[in-house]
Structure 1
Amino acid sequence: MKITAFLLSICFCTSMFAQNFDFGKVSKEELEEKFNPLDSSANATYLYKFRKTYFEYRQEKGFVLVTEIHERVKIYNQQGFEYTTNKVNLYKSGGDEEEVSSLKASTYILNEGKIEETKLKNDGIFKTELSKYFDETKFTMPNVKEGCVVEYKYKIYSPFFWNVDDFIFQEDIPIKKLDATFSAPEYYKFKANTKGFLSVTPKMSKKNDRITFNNKTRHVSGNTEFSTSNVDYYANVYEFSLSDIPALKDEPYVNNINNYRSAINYELSYTDFPQTPMKYYSTTWEDVVKSIYDNPNFGSELNKSGYYEKEIDEIIGTISDPVQRTSLIFDFVKNKVKWNGYYGYYTNEGVKKAYKDQVGNVAEINLMLTSMLRYAGLKAFPVLVSTRQNGVPLFPTREGYNYVVSYVKLPDGIILLDATNKYCTPNTLPFRALNWQGRVIAEHGGSELIDLYPKEPSKNTISMLAAISENGTLNGSYRGIKYNHDALSYREKYNDAKKEDFLEKLENKYGGMEISDFDIKNDFDISKPIVESYKFLKESQADVIGNKLYFSPLFFLKTSENPFKLEKREFPVDFGYPSSTKYLINIDLPEGYKVESAPTPVVLALPDNLGSFKYNLLASDTKIQLVIDVEINQSIISPIYYDALKAYFSSLVEKEAEQIVLTKV
């Protein structure tokens, strides 16, 4: 066995060393591979992932940032087709913009044992303006089939030398070979910020380089003299070479998997050119906050008030209570200005135009709200937020935040507000904004951190009156009452959907259950909880074996599986907000049956009061009463509790699946 394993390892290593990563040199062995030998569950694999980022001097522009990309991907099945479409986001600002160049791409398949190549044509390349600050170049690979290999390479030229995209070393699929290089002239001083659990160390070196200037001098005689001059300098070079990088597996309740993806961010600290004063860039959060506040599309917008003063005076004229004033202004903005879907902490058209047109981006709406609250005499401040999609801002960069909300400081506590969502209430931010901590910007640019997660749990009370027949059919009535974030989430799904589609999804959610008399109360009255009620009929809710019936008293409401399956988890479990769910279930038994056995009461508890599960069942000759209380008391649970959390949910699922046994008398 040892000899066999040794020979296999030699064959594998020989194959790796012999592999040709030059563009177009796809091998027959790569096309014949049916699955990744180190991860058979992978739908695709990066056979080769190459990136080189460096500075190139142009006499008319100075140094520009150049990034070369070359990737080769093996597609094993149809689920892997998502890796055959690629998107390149290109930043633009102040008349400067990034651009894609030298794009070429091909798809390779085996056709009767021969390698067949299909090249990407112009009709597979799409250019789109995403926003004021971003364009997108997207390309879709041609002739994609299961088992194919796709390969592409391109360059990105960027005038924004201070903004180096993160070097990503771990993807959602495995990587067989990765090579990456970052090179910067001695004049640019970068700081490396690392994240993730994969250990990555670069090989560092210095490389001599030269700038050649072409000079042209026109003399009085009319003659033109051409000459050249050189400037020698060195570049700091960082090289990475990795093999067989495992996929980063996502799991339920992760705020953003990219927070834990292995990567290095090269942040420009300062520039130091000869005979030029040193210029410092964002190296501390104080620098970042000050640069944002001083921007005319942020700080200046907070000071504008003339456009709304008359209407605000009418709204709060007779109200002195600060909480009431806050609520009235909050509701006014939500109803006055509609969110256009754009993120960002800078205004686009400005608060005055957004107020007039009654539509604006996140910054225009929430900076306007903050300004109005200040005008009303309240201590209100904008809060920089990174949405869940944007990740957690680990390092001090302006790109770390992409959103802004409003904060009010009162004698009895604080209130967080986001007027982009008409269903939000005070201290109930949209789920997208519940992402660790926000940064409160005080006047003149000072800042402090604030926890964005709510302290009050979102409550959900479910009541069910039902009857089970001797053939296993269940019919009855359901009533659910939802508060806070559970109510917000429900309103977003229900109010913005066609009622027929919503009802159909609800019936399908419970396996084709028949629903009638469906009713929703307080769907638009956000001062009250959502109340959902309906009657239902569902067959096959009990196993009929001989003269006995077997069923779980939670029926279709039971938790079917443990969401936590990994043996080990290195990142936190993020529920978004604390929650409390209570089940009150009454079941009428079929005539002529009695309870033979029933689940016993149980209490499960997570350590350090993180959560609990209480199960209590009472049975009589004609009725069963079940009461369940489930609580998760923290928005985020540390990975040190993962084993306990996994065991807790395993016991919860097992308990909810326990069956009542009825015997025919």
Structure 2
Amino acid sequence: MLLLIYLFMTTFLLSSRLSCLFRRKHASILFLLLFITFQTFAQEDFKPKLGQIDRASLEMTAYPGDSTADAVVLYDYGKVTFSYDNLKGLVMSTDIWVRIKILKESALDRASVGIPYYEGQSYKDQEWVESLKGYTYNLENGQIVKTELERKTVRREKSTDNYTTSKFNLTNVKKGSVIEYSYTLNSPFTVRVEPKPWTFQASIPIQWSEYNIIIPNFLDYKMTMGGFLPLYMNKQESVNVTLGHASFDGSGRSYRFVVKDAPAFVNEPFITTEMDYLSKISFELASVNVPGQIHKNYSQTWENVERTLGEAKWFGGELGRSGFLKEVRDEIAKKTTDPLERMTLAYKYVQAHMKWDGTSGLYSGDGIKKAYDNRKGNACDINLMLTVLLRELDLECDPILLSTRSHGYVHQHIPLLESFNYVIAHVKIGEKTYFLDASESFAKPGLLPERALNGFGRLIPKKGQGRFVEINPIDSDSKLEMITANILPEDGMVKGSYSISYGGYEALDWRSSYATEADNVYHDALKKTVPEWKIQNLAIKNKADDYKGTVNVSCDFELEDENASPGVFYFNPIMAGRWTKNPLKSKERIYPIDLATGISNSFIGNFTLPEGYALEEMPKTEIIMLPDKGGKFSYQVRQVGNVIQVNSMVQVSRTRFLPEEYADLKEFFERVVQKHAQPLVIKKKSI
């Protein structure tokens, strides 16, 4: 009855090897499959007792699994059961028990705890906390001393209109203490019908995280397992359930899930949002079925979701409002009949006319006409407006719902409108398709902002059934830097010209920062990146004339090395755009790497030496390839006559990498950093 599809697939995943299933193009929708279950016949169980502590926990001075941790959760326990209350009806009770070892003073604030709960207007619509207990344990003169939480110190504070928080501070807490607390949160079904997601990871390591739930058979939950840590225990069995009402008593199923020695979750570079990576269990109520009394289906299909959108005034209703755009439509229609030109003109018009208010939004706030009149709106206002205008121009255009990177991945097997928080437009001209987001002021047509690059979106057509479409970037972080300079060893100087061309997402970022600013603002920013340069004659072309073209910057510069000696001159030829740090710091990684966009960085340098000087040693040419054509780094230095030519190219074409590819990618970036740090030595020739 309970839909545990992903649990049942673990055996298949193990036999098939994860790397076979986790393809690059579908990485974003397969995270849920990676919660593998390992079970043995001789598992060690752990069942401590509340109010009792072992000496070993108090004597611990550092966590063996992570010497940097300032605290470690020794025990994190949750149990969900259901009961019937004569006044409140069905009630879901969640028992929580947490035990934490304080290793450093920086973790003392973990002794301050808050428990939020819902307080509605009526007695039936209120959660309540009961059975609150707390203890602090210390070793004093070789003896275990226990300090108990005094209930009178617990205070209630109003958090919002509907939420109250029970707050308490465990006392006598210091470095070396162990603290623990437990309580029960009772939630009537009028307030909450689904258990809260249970996460097996936190910002500090967890030695033992256990989740139990006993589900009566009349409740049908979909359970989704997510994350990348293996289950140490996964046990389930049929049980008899007594809820306190004859209609609900009967059979059910008990589940026990344990993750052991979970590392601290680190918000590493190149991820979307932490909830996409945390190992966790989530629930969705599919139906309630009490024979002869209750039968309610909560499950949705994507068809239901699309029907809801179509009937909603704030979405489908807005797509039918076009009168205010007819004048613009007629002007564009007079200029051209070419579909691509019409699309470009309409996109540019909305892009120039509207100012994005910085919010995402899945529905139009006060309507797209009012947004149009105010010349300001959320992303949905702007892109629904664009969709309407393109339809008026007889183009095949439909909205796409998606989830931004900070909002998390969309799980295609769970039809929920709440999965989305953003809208873009989709245009089909012949066999080509275009993704448009006119909320980005300086983006060329088809260049979606990075926030929208999150795997898949749901296309909502004017007629027929919707579908998921993959959203990939059409461009990369692209820049080309060039230096032509004279080396003057006798003066300890380098004089020359510098130019940089920003393309793709680099151009978008640059224009977003400087397109409306005076040139001296960028001059100051450039000066901060190369503080040793004396910059003159700065010139900027195509700040905002043609978004399809690159932004081109050029200047003259001088660099003086005060430590240079007349006979020997050291300098790093990668004078701009140098990779000084590896963006990947962790030794290992269990999460996929999501770069959002590709990388294309090139540097070309031509350095002229004076007569009588030569390069002491020619550096070795370096060429590094990532597997599966994922990227390439090349570095070459050569001397032609009295000119030293330097070429460096860093190119990463794939945007998603598997955890097992992390070592290769980290080494790739490390080699770039090492090579870019390598100086050249210019020496005066012996006569």
**Per the alignment, do residues 608 and 231 of structure 1 end up closer, same or farther by CA in structure 2, a change over 3 Å counting?**
closer
**Structure 1 pair 81/208, CA: closer, same or farther in 2 (3 Å)?**
same
Is residue 2:551 matched to residue 1:530? yes
Q: Structure 1 residues 344, 164: CA separation in 2 closer, same or farther (over 3 Å shift)?
A: farther
**1:426 paired residue number:** 445
Change (3 A) 1:609 1:546: same
- Residues 1:453 and 2:472 are matched in the alignment: yes
SS, match of residue 608 in structure 1: helix
1:422-473 Cα offsets, whole Å, 9 max, x none, are: 1222211111111112221223562222221124444311112345554866
- In structure 2, what is the equivalent of residue 216 of structure 1? none
Contact 1:175 1:244 in 2 (8 A): yes
Q: Which amino acid aligns with 1:447?
A: G
Cα distance in 2 for partners of 1:141, 1:509 equals: 47
Distance in 2 (CA, whole Å) between partners of 1:506 and 1:493 is 13
SS at match of 2:451: helix
Residue-by-residue CA offset, 1:79-101 (whole Å, 9 max, x unaligned): 76897898999999999999775
1: CA distance, partners of 2:165 / 2:555: 48
Residue 423 of structure 1 aligns to a residue in which SS? Answer: coil
Partner of 1:343, secondary structure, is: coil
Structure 1 unaligned residues grouped into runs of 5+: 1-15, 213-228
SS in structure 1 at match of 2:271:
coil
CA deviation after TM superposition for structure 1 residue 586, in Å = 2.4
Alpha-carbon contact 1:65-1:159 (below 8 Å) kept: no
Structure 1 residues 98 and 615 mapped into 2: Cα distance closer, same or farther (>3 Å)? farther
Counterpart of 1:443 in structure 2 is: 462
The alpha carbon displacement at 1:326 in A equals: 1.8
- Number of aligned residue pairs: give it: 627
How far apart are the structure 2 equivalents of 1:292 and 1:193? 25
Counterpart CA distance in 1 for 2:348 and 2:480 is: 27
Specify the SS of the correspondent of 2:202: coil
Distance of 2:110 and 2:521 partners within structure 1: 31
Structure with bigger RCO (C-alpha 8 Å, 6+ apart): 2
Q: Are 2:218 and 1:187 aligned?
A: yes
Amino acid at match of 1:460: K
In structure 1, what is the equivalent of residue 30 of structure 2? none
Q: Is the 8 A contact 2:346 2:386 kept in 1?
A: yes
Aligned to 1:275: 292
Counterpart contact for 2:84–2:243, Cα < 8 Å: no
- Counterpart of 2:552, as a letter, is V
Q: Residues 54, 440 of structure 1: CA spacing in aligned structure 2 closer, same or farther, 3 A cutoff?
A: farther
Partner of 1:208: 241
Confirm whether residue 548 of structure 1 aligns to residue 568 of structure 2.
yes
Look up the match of 2:510: 490
Q: Which residue number in structure 2 is paired with residue 577 of structure 1?
A: 597
| SS of the residue 2:249 aligns to | strand
Cα 1:447–1:19 change in 2 (3 A) is same
Q: 1:20-39 counterparts in 2 under 5 A?
A: 21=50, 33-39=60-66
Per-residue CA shift, 1:527-550, capped at 9, x if unaligned?
432234455566669x86894334
Residue 171 of structure 1: aligned partner = 202
Using the TM superposition, give the Cα deviation of residue 136 of structure 1 relative to its aligned residue in structure 2, in angstroms.
10
- 1:133-144 alignment, distance < 5 Å: none
- The answer on 1:48 being equivalent to 2:72 is no
Deviates more, 1:94-103 or 1:463-472: 94-103
Contact 2:87 2:124 in 1 (8 A): no
Q: Which runs of 5+ in 2 are unaligned?
A: 1-44
2:414 pairs with 396, 400, 425, which one? Answer: 396
CA spacing shift, 1:44–1:422, aligned 2, 3 Å: farther
TM-fit CA distance, 1:76: 4.5
**Would you say 1:328 and 2:345 are equivalent positions?**
yes
Q: Identity percentage over the alignment?
A: 29
Indicate if the aligned counterparts of 1:595 and 1:621 stay in contact, CA closer than 8 A.
no
Tell me the distance in 2 between the aligned counterparts of 1:340 and 1:363: 11
* Matched-pair contact (CA < 8 Å) for 1:87–1:136: no
User: Match of 1:349?
Assistant: 366
Q: Which stretch shifts more, 623-632 or 270-279?
A: 270-279
SS at match of 1:631: strand
Q: If the length of structure 2 is used for normalisation, what is the TM-score? A: 0.76
Partner of 1:617: 637
Question: What is the CA distance between 1:524 and its match in structure 2?
Answer: 3.8
Q: 1:341 to 1:576 in 2, by over 3 A?
A: same
Q: Distance in 1 between matches of 2:273 and 2:86?
A: 42
Question: Amino acid of the residue matched to residue 416 of structure 1?
Answer: F
User: What is the one-letter code of the residue matched to 2:242?
Assistant: D
Taking the aligned partners of 2:559 and 2:148, their CA distance within structure 1 comes to 54
Pick from 646, 650, 660 the counterpart of residue 626 of structure 1: 646
State the Cα RMSD in Å: 4.6
The more displaced of 507-516 and 397-406 is 507-516
- Asked if the contact 2:247–2:290 (Cα under 8 Å) also holds between the matched residues in 1, the reply is no
Q: 1:516 Cα shift?
A: 5.8
